[in-house]
Structure 1
Amino acid sequence: MDESLIPNIVDFIGQIDPFDQLPAPVLKDVASCTSITYLGRGEQIEFGDDNTEKYLYIIRTGSMEQRRPDGVLRSKMGEEDLFGFTFLEPLKNALDGYKATAIENTLLYKVPHSKLLKLTKQYPQFSESISAGAQLRLRSALNVVWSNKEKGLFLKKVSEVARGQAAVVDIDMSIQDVAKEMRNACRSSTAIIKQDGKIVGLITDRDMTKRVIADGMDISLPIKAVMTTPAITIDPDDLILKAASLMMQYNIRSLPVVRGNDVLGLLTSSHLVQKHRMQAIFLIEKIKYTDTPEGLAELTSERQAIFEALVEGRVDSEIIGQVMAMIMDGYNRRLLQMAEEQFGAPPCDYNWIVAGSHARNEVHMLSDQDSAIILQEGATEADKAYFQQLSEFVTHHMDACGYPNCTGHYMASNPKWCQTLSVWKECYRKWVTNPQYGMLMNVSVFLEVRSLHGNAELSESLQNHLHSLINEDNQFLPSLVNDAVRTQPPLGIFNKLVLEKSGNNTRVLNIKKYALTLIVDLARIYGLAVGCSKTGTRERFEFAVEQKLLNEDDFKDVIEAFYFLTQLRFNHQLSALRQGLQPNNHMEPSAISSFERKHLKDAFRIISNMQEAAKLRFSSK
């Protein structure tokens, strides 16, 4: 190496992640063993030969493309991009044999594999950033830019805080025996009541005082005579914020922590002694006691402030989505209550369901309304007229509160999406058995729904019907896959990430269309394939792993990509809000740093690999 070239190499690689994390003397040492090579247009580097020296390649000038052995594009790369991660450690599932081709005259820096191995042992942060595992690089990117060490009590999971125990008793036990079990077994303030292994109710020590002692109730009667039903419970993975909201909503002091019908513990109000205050909890409380739609609309600025605080506070993107979904739930429920107060009690049973990002608990500042109503059988035209009034009231005022109407009119105020359960089931049957493009557009919106208000048994029955239809039809999932992979991540991008024109006639990256939606679609497909009843993107992938349909490594890859992309979008939205602009999903090239571009390419490759795997897995069904 010509000594005169070393300062130039140090200056260049010292600005590139992860070399910018190394001390100056170490950078100089790396530069001294770095070689330089020149490729003319069309010249190739082939990988996979175990007998040749391995290198990490850094593009100084020019551009390259990588293709898999079957000729499929893996990535395009420009100045400051790195490649050659595959050979930093032995990986059985690595894409050995791929080729890198210069698509214009290109100058490369080559850092020996042996030198990198020494650096990864000395500098753990460098090791994660340069790791052969894409999910580790993405996780490293999140850790560097958005740590989450100070998230506060209300943004912790219930499992991190709950320390109490709940008694578990049978529905046929006497009141006295249940009281003894609560006192003797675990000194618990709460007993969970089961029937045939399923949770059917609960009783607390306060209930015993009010309903048994104060009323002189016969203590030999079965506990079902005084139990509270249904049991209000909390999942261990839910946020403390949600638990506190439930406690306020139902005026209770304790929540059994359950997963399915397994009782894991008890969360009490004493566990929620606040060392940190979280503004979201107070906004939810304000929403609950606001009397007018106009009053709710006035709280919109507080909702935006909470979003900004969460993003600025480096809170995990998953938690931000959950918090914002809880706030949207609060608005939606309060408006439904106001509508029932204004138009009178509902004439029949109904269930207001939400779809899209709202149903997935992945709400952000651009989330619009996706909703529908399921009516009980026998609902009349007069009943439907009532719900038309109710839904128009709710959707209009949700829009005024900052949740825009769905541009595709997938809302409860559209009479098409306010139907009896039997009509809904017939719609699902048509959509699943006739998976043409138009049908898939309808079903894709309502493939993930969540009960928000009313009789949840109606939506549960509809979802069970959907899963039965999918199990009986071997063409639906392949059709869903074919539709989902029509759009592919932009593997061919490099340098300025130029993709499509926005309304301002500038070229931008649509991070929703070309990245996030693709992952959500894949999660939906895998979730439906294993009959997952949950709606969240992570939950669906996790269930597919549990059912052995998806391997653990692929899950880690795709979920880290999802979190990285979501956080990137949140930061893009925050930047717009700070400038007084309307947030959007279109990222200008100038707003995407070299650091972000490198990790975007990791995420795009992961999505592309998942799409290819889904086509292979489901094409024969």
Structure 2
Amino acid sequence: MTRSAEKIMDFLHSVHPYDTLPQDELVRVAGCFSRSEVPAGTVVYSEGDPIEHVWLIKSGTVEVTDANGALVSMLSPRNSFGERGLLREGRAVTTATTSSDAVLLALPGGELRHMIANFPAFERFFSRGQGLGGKHGRQNDLATLKVADLMARKPVIGALNTTAKEAARLMRDNRISCVPVVKDGVLLGIVTTRDLSARVLAEGRSVDTPLSEIMTPDPLALSPQALGSDILHMMLENRIGHLPVVRDGRLLGMITQTDLTRFQAISSGQLVRDAAVAKSYEDLAPVTGRIPQLLVQLVGAHNAHDVVTRLITDIADTVTRRLLKLAEEKLGPPPAPYLWAACGSQGRQEQTGVSDQDNCIIIDDSVSPDDMAYYAELARFVSDGLDAAGYFYCPGDMMATNPRWCQPLQVWRRYFSGWINTPSPEAQMLASVMFDLRPIGGQVSLFRDLQEETLAAASRNSIFVAHMISNSVKHTPPLGLLRSFATIRSGEHKNHVDMKLGGVVPVTDLARVYALRGRITAANTRARLLAAEEKGIISVSGARDLIEAYDLIANLRLENQANLVRMGRKPDNFLAPSDLSDFERSHLRDAFVVVRTMQSAVGQMAGTLG
């Protein structure tokens, strides 16, 4: 193997789904890639060009735009692009342009087709709507979204006897441009700022005029099942900017031109681009402040949960890398190479609308004791910036600002060796967190060797594996008796279930154990489950059941968060089973049963290992 192919193979170890390939196949595929250094501003391909390769970004960034020049995606290292045109139309359906100097790896189309045909992980990855480097093509398709996924919940309303003055104040205080007139939940009319101007001010009427005299009665309205295209057509045809959403005459919400404009302006690619050019960490908060609305759009477009969380995590990655760049501009170049790595949900690429920060710094062993102050300052700058951007400080202090988690590589080697050889309860907890590490910025090679050594040592230590298995079944699904749920009994979240601790965390813990046993380098939960199936760590039927259960749980969690955002609330992880249909409740409970069954099977395994 040439030195170039060897470097490509090392890089592919950190890229899914290449990280699932058998070693001999990975060696072969690495030799099929060609490497090129591409200056910023280079058009890799234009819409309509024949596509013969799929590209993988090793460094730099690439913008993907549609036929109108609108940004579809901003891609970064480890993202691939070009596969949509290659696998579907044979010609490019977008335009890809390097937005910074980049190193691109090109794989012939025949090789990609070969792997899709022979390796299930590739077939699943490239058939889940993840063209454009994991970016789902439907995320900004307004025309096909349902009105229910776009409308504002709990609209501000007025009554027949509400005065024009009171209506104007409602609009001002709530920053809205219309007030629907409602009686007993039934929509009777609508008053807009234009009505106040034309029917009150222009005609010299009193500000105490009731809305019953100035409203537009029986306004045009849509059902929640209408599509975004219906909104556009109705607004354009009737030259209106406000549409009530009703069911059986009862007001459910409002759609305005502002809602449509906001929707079109928000995409993961746009947020990534805005974060990448931020001049200070104060500029990042407005970018991440748009994530809840992006969550609503992605969920409303029926994207799979792993696509949604990947796109949201991409934003956090970009914010982190931008903060690292700003820190180096302020502090000067680092005295020794370092790696900033994320663990927790960011490390697994599973961030939702609720995220704290979990991170660490691994420093090259050439660092001197006097140089360590630099990395402490860098950690504080980045961590403070992340907090200002909405990624709040980790309650458990699992951050690079904690000197324990900002250390040279040799110290990290001792950490992992100690956790593996002396698996105390604290060691199990720390190992669980740190086995989800993923490089974000800096010298990736500092992590690669550490990960390979750690996985090899951990998988060989049956006592450590047994302890990790026992630790993985501490969080159990909230199953009650007689097909009911064990809901929270008191407090703010009474009669709810925790979809994080009782839903996704048990699966995440199981996947981590499978990854440990199979020396699987992927950090993402779903990727770990797929790789575990391919390596025979779990049976095909068990893997299929667990993956489908995980998909259902994770999707319901995101849908609940999106609903909370639509209602003007902060997203959280607590779901009331009573809010679900009988069908949904039944399937959620079945999913919990699958997870509990898999936990039992793994728990029995621990007894044979310990």
- Provide the TM-score with structure 2 as the length reference: 0.60
1:354 aligns with 2:342: yes
CA gap 1:610/1:568 in 2 versus in 1, 3 angstroms: same
Distance 2:488 2:436 in 1: 29
Higher deviation after alignment, 301-310 or 484-493: 484-493
1:202 aligns with 2:35: yes
2:531 aligns with 543
Q: Following TM superposition, by how much is the alpha carbon of 1:323 offset from its aligned partner in structure 2, in angstroms?
A: 0.5
C-alpha displacement of 1:235 = 5.0
Matches within 5 A, 1:359-398: 359-398=347-386
Shift of 1:474: 1.3
Verify the 8 A CA contact 1:340 1:346 in the aligned structure 2.
yes
Q: Quick one: distance in 2 between partners of 1:286 and 1:346?
A: 26
- 2:582 is aligned with 1:594: yes
Q: CA deviation at 1:499?
A: 2.5
Match of 1:295?
Answer: 283
Residue 541 of structure 1 deviates from its aligned partner by 1.3
Kept in 1, the 8 Å contact 2:467–2:606? The answer is no
The count of aligned residue pairs is: 410
Describe the shift of the 1:206–1:601 C-alpha distance in structure 2 as closer, same or farther (beyond 3 A): closer
3-state SS, counterpart of residue 298 of structure 1 = helix
Q: Which amino acid aligns with 1:402?
A: G
Shift of 1:487: 2.9
- Three-state SS of the structure 1 residue aligned to 2:357 is coil
**What SS is found at the alignment partner of 1:500?**
coil
Shift in Å at residue 233 of structure 1? 6.4
The CA distance in 1 between the partners of 2:504 and 2:132, in whole Å, is: 37
Q: Which amino acid aligns with 1:600?
A: L
Who is 2:429 aligned against? 441
Matches within 5 A, 1:432-511: 432-493=420-481, 497-501=485-489, 503-504=491-492, 506-511=494-499
Q: Over residues 458-493 of structure 1, what are the superposed CA-to-partner deviations in whole Å (9 max), with x where a residue is unaligned?
A: 111111121122133111111111111133223324
Please tell me whether residue 564 in structure 1 is matched to residue 521 in structure 2.
Answer: no
CA shift, 1:415, in A, is 0.8
Quick check: 1:202–1:229 contact (8 Å CA) kept in 2? Answer: no
1:250 is matched with which residue? 100
Residue 528 of structure 1, CA deviation: 1.0
Give the residue type in structure 2 aligned to 1:378: S
Q: Secondary structure at the residue paired with 2:290?
A: helix
Tell me the SS of whatever aligns to 2:554.
helix
Match of 2:308 among 293, 315, 320: 320
* Aligned partners of 2:487 and 2:494 also within 8 Å: no
The one-letter code of the counterpart of 1:256 is: A
Matches of residues 100-111 of structure 1 in structure 2 within 5 Å? none
Displacement of 1:376? 0.6
Q: Does 1:414 align with 2:402?
A: yes
- Give a deviation string over 1:34-83, Cα, whole Å, max 9, x none: xxxxxxxxxxxxxxxxxxxxxxxxxxxxxxxxxxxxxxxxxxxxxxxxxx
- What is the 5 A alignment of 1:46-445? 198=31, 202-203=35-36, 234-235=79-80, 248-251=98-101, 256-257=106-107, 279-445=267-433
- 1:244-278, CA deviations, whole angstroms, 9 ceiling, x for partnerless residues? 9995453559652489x98979x999xx9999687
- Contact 1:300 1:402 (8 Å CA) reproduced: yes
Q: Which runs of 5+ in 2 are unaligned?
A: 6-26, 43-56, 61-76, 86-92, 116-130, 142-263
1:197–1:354: structure 2 CA closer, same or farther, 3 Å change rule? closer
The alpha-carbon distance between structure 1 residues 202 and 502, as it changes in their structure 2 partners (threshold 3 A), is farther
Q: Which residue of 2 aligns with 1:45?
A: none
Secondary structure of residue in 2 paired with 1:250? coil
Quote how far apart the aligned CAs of 1:311 are: 1.1
Match of 2:522 in 1: 534
After superposition, the C-alpha distances for 1:183-222 in whole angstroms (9 at most, x for unaligned) are: xxxxxxxxxxx99965796137989x9xxxxxxxxxxxxx
User: Per-residue CA shift, 1:350-409, capped at 9, x if unaligned?
Assistant: 000001111111110112111000011032233211111111111111111111111111
SS of corresponding position for 2:571: coil
For residues 270-325 of structure 1, the C-alpha deviation after alignment (integer angstroms, 9 at most, x for no partner) is xx999968722122111111111111112123222211110111111110011011
TM-score with structure 1 setting the length: 0.59
Letter in 1 for 2:607: S
CA shift, 1:524, in A, is 0.6
The separation in 1 between residues aligned to 2:96 and 2:376, in whole angstroms, is 29
2:509 to 521, 526, 537: 521
Pair 349,500 (structure 1): closer, same or farther in 2 beyond 3 Å: same
Question: Do the aligned residues in 2 keep the contact of 1:254 with 1:268 (CA within 8 Å)?
Answer: no
Residue aligned with 1:352, SS: strand
Distance 1:333 1:343, change over 3 A: same
Q: Classify 1:258/1:446 alpha carbon distance in 2 versus 1 (closer, same or farther; 3 Å).
A: farther
C-alpha contact (below 8 Å) 1:244/1:281 kept by paired residues: no
With over 3 angstroms needed to count, the CA separation of the structure-2 counterparts of 1:229 and 1:385, relative to structure 1, is: same
Shift, 1:616, TM fit: 2.8
Amino acid at match of 1:250: S
Matched with 1:20 is: none
Structure of higher CA gyration radius: 1
Q: Find the aligned partners of 1:498 and 1:518 in 2 and give their Cα distance.
A: 15
Q: Secondary structure at the match of 1:202?
A: strand
User: Residues 233 and 367 (structure 1 numbering): CA distance in 2 closer, same or farther, change over 3 Å?
Assistant: closer
Distance 2:347 2:571 in 1: 21
Partner of 1:57: none
Q: CA deviation at 1:436?
A: 1.7
Contact 2:473 2:599 in 1 (8 A): yes
* Shift in alpha-carbon separation, 1:607–1:196, aligned structure 2, 3 A: closer
Unaligned runs of 5+ in 1: 1-167, 173-193, 210-227
Aligned to 2:595: 607
AA aligned opposite 1:563: D
Query: What do residues 168-189 of structure 1 show as CA deviations (whole Å, max 9, x unaligned)?
Result: 99979xxxxxxxxxxxxxxxxx
Q: 1:419 to 1:245 in 2, by over 3 A?
A: farther
**1:324-360, Cα deviation, whole Å (9 max, x unpaired):** 1111111111111111111111111100000111111
* Counterpart code for 2:321: R
Q: Is the 8 A contact 2:32 2:108 kept in 1?
A: no
Contact 2:276 2:318 in 1 (8 A): yes
Contact 2:340 2:359 survives alignment (8 Å): yes
Amino acid at match of 2:36: I
Structure 1 CA distance for aligned equivalents of residues 36 and 82 of structure 2: 23
Map Cα deviations across residues 432-463 of structure 1 (whole Å, 9 max, x no partner): 11112111111111011111101001111111
**1:395–1:405 contact (8 Å) kept in structure 2:** yes
Residue 539 of structure 1: how far off its partner (Å): 1.3
Query: In the alignment, which residue of structure 1 is the partner of 2:500?
Result: 512
CA distance in 1, matches of 2:277, 2:584: 43
Query: Which residue of 1 is the match for residue 17 of structure 2?
Result: none
